[in-house]
Amino acid sequence: MVQEVVKFIINNKRKNLGGVLTYIVLFFIVWTIYEVEIATFIKDNYSTNIYIISRLLIKVLVWIFPVFLYLKFYDKVNPLSYLKLKDNTKRGLVGAIMLSLLFAIYNFSRVYFMGNSKLDLNLNMNTLINGIVFVGFTEEIVFRGFLLKKIWNNSSFRKAMLISSLLFLFIHYPAWFIKGKLIFPNLIFSSIYVFGFAILEAYIFKKTNSLWACIVSHSVHNFILSIL
């Protein structure tokens, strides 16, 4: 009886890990193709409004929709509950405030000591919609709510935090490539910063047990970077 239970657990873990690995590969392939080919084509051939709306819709379809389908039909769980969007909301918001203050103190101090303390509140619509308002939902649902937890189920939290943070970093590379940002030494500094950001988001997610801490703090973080 005990052997059967152990066998079931091992097989179930292998099944879950295989499903997650398949998801990661497909997700990275699809999003890389979008960033390198499709997004560039739309931006060069259509109006700014069409680009903004299409980017939002495509990101929802590529990032959020598959996660909800995976959880609902493959894992057969409630997506909102699994992603920690239903419980510990107040605790999550407190965590979001604390982490947002940390982001604000660090980035304002960095800019101040570099001698460039002017704020630019003239944000374009793409930055506002896709870079600030919705980025917290799309990116945190995938990387903290879904991938961090999935990897955590098969390893320690520390390993899950490191792996999911690396994946979060790598998903930025296609966009950086298009923008000409994959050059040294800026690539090193940007990679360290984004990786550190992901580590902090993973940590606050564990401490609050609420994805709202990550969603809100992520959007606030991007707002701060956008106005500096």
The predicted structure's pLDDT at residue 117 = 66
pLDDT at 3: 47
Report which secondary-structure segment, H or E, holds 81: helix 79-82
Look at residue 4 in the predicted model and tell me its pLDDT: 40
Assess contact for 85 and 146: CB atoms under 8 A: no
Q: Are 144 and 205 in contact (CB under 8 A)?
A: yes
Longest dimension (CA), the chain: 69
Residue 6: the pLDDT is 36
Looking at the predicted structure, is the pLDDT value of residue 119 above 50?
Answer: yes
Q: Tell me the average pLDDT across 11-16.
A: 56
Contacts of 125 (CB under 8 A, 6+ apart): 48, 49, 52
Please state, in angstroms and rounded to a whole number, the distance separating the CA atoms of residues 190 and 185: 9
Burial class (CB in 10 A: 0-12, 13-18, 19+), 29: exposed
Average pLDDT of the residues of the chain: 91
Q: Output Rg (C-alpha) for the chain, integer angstroms.
A: 19
pLDDT in tens, 189-215: 999 999 999 999 999 999 999 999 999
pLDDT of 129 above 90: yes
pLDDT of 13 reads: 56
For the segment 31-54, what is each residue's pLDDT rounded down to a tens digit? 999 999 999 999 999 999 999 999
Band the pLDDT of 121: cuts 50, 70, 90: confident
HEC profile for 14-71? HHHHHHHHHHHHHHHHHHHHHHHHHHHHHHHHCCHHHHHHHHHHHHHHHHHHHHHHHH
Phi-psi domain of 84 (left: phi exceeds 0; alpha: psi -120 through 50; beta: other): left
Tell me how long the chain is.
228
Q: Can you give the residue ranges of every domain in the chain? A: 2-227
Q: What torsion, rounded to 10 degrees, do the Cα atoms 204, 206, 211, 212 define?
A: -40
Name which residue leads in pLDDT, 30 or 112.
30
Lowest-confidence range among 58-72, 82-96, 115-129, 177-191? 115-129
pTM of the predicted structure, to 2 decimals = 0.91
Three state DSSP letters for 125-179: HHHHHHHHHCHHHHHHHHHHHHHHHHHHCCCCHHHHHHHHHHHHHHCCHHHHHHC
Percent of the chain clearing pLDDT 90 (strictly above): 81
In this predicted structure, what is the pLDDT of residue 82? 97
Q: What pLDDT shows up at residue 15?
A: 55
φ, ψ at 2 (rounded to 5°): -65, -40
